[in-house]
Amino acid sequence: MSELTRQHVASTPIAVPTTEEGPRVETTAGPVRGLWRRIVSAPDRQGPAPLFTRSAAFYGIPYAEVPFGERRFMAPVRRAGWTQERTALTPSATPQRGSIFDDPAIPEPSVPGEDFLTVNVFTPTPGDEGARLPVLVWIHGGGWSSGSHNSPWYDGAAFNRDGVVTVSVAYRLGYDGYGWVPGSDAPYNRAVLDQVMALEWVRDNIARFGGDPEQVTVAGQSAGGGNSMVLLAVPRAKGLFHRIISQSGALPERSASTTQEMSRTLAQVLGVELSLEGIRSATYDEVFEASRKVTAPDGAGLAGLADPVEALRGVLSQSGSDIPFLPTVDGEVIALDEVEALRSGWGAKVPVLAGSTMHDFAFAGLGMAEAMKGKDLREVLVAGGLSEEIAERVIAAHPEHADAPHMVVGDLISDATFHKVVAEWFLARQEAAAGEGTTSAGSYAYEFAYCAGPLHMATHCMDIPFTFDCLADPYCEHTLGGGAPQELADAMHGVWVSFIREGQPGWESWTERSVGRCFGDNRAGEMSLQEDRVLFDTDRDLVAASR
């Protein structure tokens, strides 16, 4: 292998560029040239035989015009055509200029530049319109303010090996993507419109990369998981995708009035008029820094709460967020609140696979150790809003924290943020089907319970390298520590491939018996690879109690 090949950005432990000429594909806008990589599977992989041994990568294919100058803070505009071949050999610019996270759990590179409304395409069959392989469209997370579609964890090589074309999408972040801009042709939800336009690009182009536009699964993690679900409430997105995977997806309800209030505060921090011209006078970096000083009034602000009772009351009683800019129910781009849309039957025929890690945000409990000293855990949980019966169930569900009551409070905060929302979504889908006297598409639940890393918990983002089967990436050791089991990656990745192909992961829909699949539970010592069992039943009861 040459020095150039070793150093190429597309060279990862699972995909090594070759020296042969890269494939050329004629998109609807013009020709692009990618590069071939040799797929390298883990030596102890136990999955089915590879369907393909090569993966073609096409980086930075633009789906929209550059969103700067007169197009900044406006709706995306479909990219004009080009005639000369466009090289797509290295990752392009990212909307992310800096991360809101001090120590990201995911490697999220920032690439400077303004031409960032692009997609990365990974395919084993470029140019073969007869291949008609299923397609995974990945929407990255990052709290709607950070994140990068160029993360090596989102490389589609392992999915390509198993016959799935993979697309990762860049979209505007923070205020640029979600803030209120009076005078714009898209005053709200420009990032949502970016994602819709990227899906329109997939519809029009993915067959040229060997994909099937009639078998598109939209997936994402964290904010990306929420973005995936919100597309069900976007009229313009209807028909552009056929399945959804939401990994630790959260989707706080955000009204137009709250977004307006946050936008006014941002303008004050910047010292500019809240208008299209006034906001454009600030640079992207200035807006990003100012946004970090703005906190939404409807958020619980859990990181700053030392009182566990108040923290629980906040997270259990409201659906807001202290993140300033995120998807807004404006009645146009996003027609309805998510649960209302699902209850009305929107997306009823779209199978959904949704779940989370066991301890997504349980680290919130770390800051409550002092406050919980001398307190009775059950009394705190009840004072925070639980019935005595549910409080006992929460405690019993987390034997790993039997000697750390503050961490059980953190577990409940995490459950209310990520588990409860899955129950809300699935119950709303069930109600829609019952009201129509029909059967909706499956609502499948999962939980990732493999405890690792410095906290020895199954925390936010830990499941991604298992579902993408990229445990060999060096950053995995940063997040997971050493010794992550390949057999767990084989199991989870295999299920994801099955769902992308067939819309069925291999277990029953959650709505009838609250049964889902738990992956990698090692809290008792020996790991349980995968087990179908009752999941999120306490969250189901919390949803019922809140109505």
The dihedral built from the CA positions of residue 474, 36, 95 and 177, taken in this order, carries a sign that is: negative
Cα 130 to chain centroid distance, Å, stands at 30
Instruction: Give the tens place of pLDDT for each residue, 141-199.
Output: 999 999 999 999 999 999 999 999 999 999 999 999 999 999 999 999 999 999 999 99
Geometric angle at alpha carbon 32, from 30 and 36, rounded to 5°:
160
The answer to whether 293 and 267 have CB atoms below 8 angstroms apart is no
3-state secondary structure of 133: strand
Main-chain dihedrals φ then ψ at residue 367, nearest 5 degrees: -80, 0
The answer to whether 304 and 284 have CB atoms below 8 angstroms apart is no
Name the nearest CA neighbour of 261 among 289, 294, 222: 294
Residue 304, pLDDT above cutoff 60 = no
Main-chain dihedrals φ then ψ at residue 445, nearest 5 degrees: -105, 150
- Amino acid letter for position 199: L
Share of the chain above pLDDT 70, in %: 95
pLDDT for position 5 = 33
Instruction: Give the tens place of pLDDT for each residue, 59-117.
Output: 999 999 999 999 999 999 999 999 999 999 999 999 998 888 888 999 999 999 999 99
Residues 6 or more apart in contact with residue 3 via CB below 8 angstroms:
none
pLDDT for position 97 = 83
Matching fold, domains 3-249 and 328-546: yes
Q: Locate all alpha helices (DSSP H) within 386-518, ordered by sequence.
A: 388-397, 405-414, 420-436, 464-467, 475-480, 486-502, 510-513
Give the predicted TM-score (pTM) of the model.
0.96
Count of C-beta atoms within a 10 Å radius of residue 391: 22
Q: From CA 460, how far away is CA 357, in angstroms rounded? A: 6
Q: From CA 1, how far away is CA 350, in angstroms rounded? A: 45
What is the pLDDT averaged over residues 427-445? Answer: 90
Cβ burial of 524 (10 Å; 0-12, 13-18, 19+) is exposed
Q: Where are the domains of the chain?
A: 3-249, 328-546
Q: How does residue 435 score in pLDDT terms, banded at 50, 70 and 90?
A: confident
CATH code of 328-546, in short, is: 3.40.50.1820
**Tokens representing residue 269 in the block:** 């921090």
Residue 508, pLDDT above cutoff 70 = yes
Instruction: Give the tens place of pLDDT for each residue, 250-294.
Output: 888 899 999 999 999 999 999 999 999 999 999 999 999 999 888
**Tokens representing residue 246 in the block:** 């939401």
Q: From CA 172, how far away is CA 423, in angstroms rounded? A: 29
| CATH 3.40.50.1820 is held by the domain 3-249 | yes
